Structure 1
Amino acid sequence: MARGHARPVRRARRMLGQGAREVTAGAGATVTRRPAATLRGYSMARNLWYKPQVADPDRDPVEVPTALLRVTYGGLIVLALCAAALSGGCGADNRAGVARGKELFETCVPCHGKNGGGSLALRVPAIAGLPDWYLEASLEKYMKDIRGAHPDDLDGHRMRPMARTLYRPGDVQSVAGYVSSMPKPGVEDEPGAGGDPVAGRAHYEGVCVACHGPAGEGNKDMGSPPLTGQADWYLVAQILKFKHGMRGAHPEDITGAQMAAMAAVLPDTAAVRDVAAYIRTLPR
């Protein structure tokens, strides 16, 4: 293994020791047990990091950005897992509530940022201020491979091991409650994303308004999240995932299936961009 790739893997191995515990296994022998979520996270981190072909100058240049993203995401996963260990994510603290959620949120900071505002560069959405019921549902879907398991969903592959660090009772509710209590941040739209908000309004009122509301406020009873205050590039990416079967295809994803059917009504990517452009004109 190249030295540049071995180093982060060694860090991940050291991190595994945090949160490990020894238990008696008969005749005085001891066995070290580590939380399953930590082991899964390490495996994911290693698979993402160990990509020697990234530095291969003969590699097809079209494929390099995706490979580089894998390296970046792998590093962020290692950092987040370390944060989980240090914040008690692998310990025996069974507290629940917003205070506990604030500690658990440290696992999310490497990608989503301290203010929960996301990152255009990392293609990570803003999550601060979203309803707790939606955050809980999303985390549960990631944990159960209902969301983010499609082979082409690189963002989902990054998120699934992070959700699985919230394996103790009350963890999901705690972090969702804390993130929901955070003020909605400003978000960074993608320069030159385009989209016609006038045309987008017609699509929105014909396709989206029944579930997400006329002001994009969402509807808890229908499992539809608010759309205002989210970056245009994220809106476009998620609608296209629904449209092309990367989201909403799992048989247990009822709300996702509803959204996939609506996304299919939009004729093309230009219409998707128009809808996102219109949503960005709605008051937060």
Structure 2
Amino acid sequence: MTTPARTPVVFIHGLWLHASSWGPWLDLFFDAGYEAIAPGWPGEPDTVEEARAHPELVADIGIDDATDHFRKIIGALDGDPVIVGHSFGGLIAQKLLGEGLVSGAVAIDPAQMKGVRPLPLAQIRSALPAMGNPANLHRAVSLTREAFRYGFGNALSQGESDELHGKWSVPGPARPVFQAATANFSPRSQAKVSTANDTRGPLLIISGTADHTVPDVTTRATYRQYRRSGAVTELLQFEDRGHSLTVDSGWKEIAQATLQWLKQHRL
């Protein structure tokens, strides 16, 4: 008897976390019957230690560079995968879904796309480590423990936030932050998503209501961008969860909700 092929799931992280931070998700999804992978961004070293030692390897990477990179990865897979992305990974997941290249997508606290108007003060403050110096456009930037605490770990204890920073935080290219911030002023913005596509697969957008980096009001505005699409688009909010929700001690709640949604839509 032939064993049914496993559905591929590609996890895409955002800025300032390493691809290996998806490790617990990979194990959970494998046990649930999926073939899960978590490739890094273009140029990203295999380990946290190497990524910290060589920030120049990811410097100046933009949204299109990263999207092209993941487009090639999914093109080499057997069958159309599901994409699960966090932060800028969530934006990339939506871009690939809008292009019809994947069977479905989950965008967790996705970075701001073109057309989204709200820009809360918390979001601006979270972006300052990247955008505070215009020269950072061509650099990879690291977060201090304090900046990580504000942008990622604000809903956690100081101890847990510091632990996550020490375990997973790596330099990230600042260019995508500049691109997202200026998207509404750029006719050909790389942060543009095909939100009106009626033939794409289902999309779940997840929001942490205490998130500073991508506040809930921003995520809800992203959800409203799909109002002209007849395809399945759903929003799921988690109260009092911050931007660390994929890696902190409550990660399994988010992961299990994601699995339940995928099963519900037969993905």
TM-score by length of 2: 0.33
Which is bigger in relative contact order (C-alpha 8 A, separation at least 6)?
2
Between structure 1 and structure 2, the one with the greater Rg is 1
Report the structure, 1 or 2, having the larger helix content.
Answer: 1
TM-score by length of 1: 0.32
Report the structure, 1 or 2, having the larger strand content.
Answer: 2
